[in-house]
Amino acid sequence: MNDLFWVDTGVGRPVVLLHGGFLDHRMWEDQIPALAAGHRVIVPDARGHGRSANATGPYRLTDDVAGLLRHLNTGPAVLVGLSMGGSVAIDTALEHPDLVSAAVVSGVGTSEPYFTDPWTTQAMAAWHGAMAAGDLDASIEGFLLFAAGPHRTLDDVDPRVTGRLRQMAEDTMAKHSPGEPHHLVPVTGTWERLPTISVPVLAVNGVLDSPDHLGMAERLIGAVPDGRVRAIDGAAHYPNMERPDAFNAIIGDFLQTV
């Protein structure tokens, strides 16, 4: 595990925090101390993100999480993931069920997303176009659109939140170059296999997130045997950063029930 970076703090039942794409463990800075007061909190940087090394060969993010938990010799953990991190949590519940006692996701369904809403498809196209062109500034601006969502502008978002997102995205995007090999191996058949997930799954969504992200989360919760959902007003794709007190309270309540 020498090529991965993680934070490991607190004592008690393990809770793993999985960050969104192009971000890193710092997106959870409002959750780590709150949860570490009563739990062992493990917060990795995904491969190719933050302080973890870039991939040099085929890999799956879910296998990295499983490998880390086995390396740390910890039992089944509650996985809490946002966006990409949420999809990794669901993948891990499917691929490594012995390591997962419950899952919390935000703004995501599974690691096989689909986008049909006009705002989302246009925003995705502009963002991916900027990345393909190697335009770092435009790539970051495109990425930040999701912090506002379709109902606001970035000026409506707390600049402390966008500043943190911008710094993390800059740090991760700077680790990569246009045209580099894409080593990530996808997990497939995720939607069809959701009924096999036996652990509780909670979706915590920002009300102002895009219809596609909200719709996929709702589909996920409807497909698993024990699906639950909570909504946070005044937040879009990053409710843990925009409304940390509300997010932490929901997670704390959930942890008492599983």
Q: What's the confidence (pLDDT) of residue 177?
A: 82
The C-alpha atoms of residue 108 and residue 85 are separated, in whole angstroms, by 9
Residues in the chain with pLDDT values less than 70:
none
DSSP state of 188: -
Return the pLDDT at 129.
86
Concatenating the DSSP letter of every residue in 146-169 gives HHH-TTS-GGGS-HHHHHHHHHHH
Tens digit of pLDDT for each residue in 178-191?
A: 788 889 999 999 99
Q: Give the DSSP letter string of 105-131.
A: EES---SS----SHHHHHHHHHHHHHH
pLDDT digits (tens, 9 = 90+) for 44-73: 999 999 999 999 999 999 999 999 999 999
What are the tokens at 55? 């991939």
Q: How many CB atoms within 10 Å of residue 187?
A: 21
Nearest-angstrom CA–CA distance, 213 and 206: 10
Whole-number pLDDT of residue 180: 84
Phi and psi based region of residue 234 (left: phi greater than 0; alpha: psi -120 to 50; beta: remaining): left
Strand partners, 18: 81
In whole angstroms, give the CA distance from residue 52 to residue 66.
16
- Global pTM reads 0.97
The region, left, alpha or beta by phi > 0 then psi within -120 to 50, assigned to residue 213 is: alpha
Domains of the chain: 6-115+181-255 (3.40.50.1820), 118-173 (no CATH)
Task: Please enumerate in sequence order all residues whose Cβ is within 8 A of that of 20, keeping only pairs 6 or more positions apart, or say none.
Answer: 27, 82, 83, 84, 85, 107, 237, 238
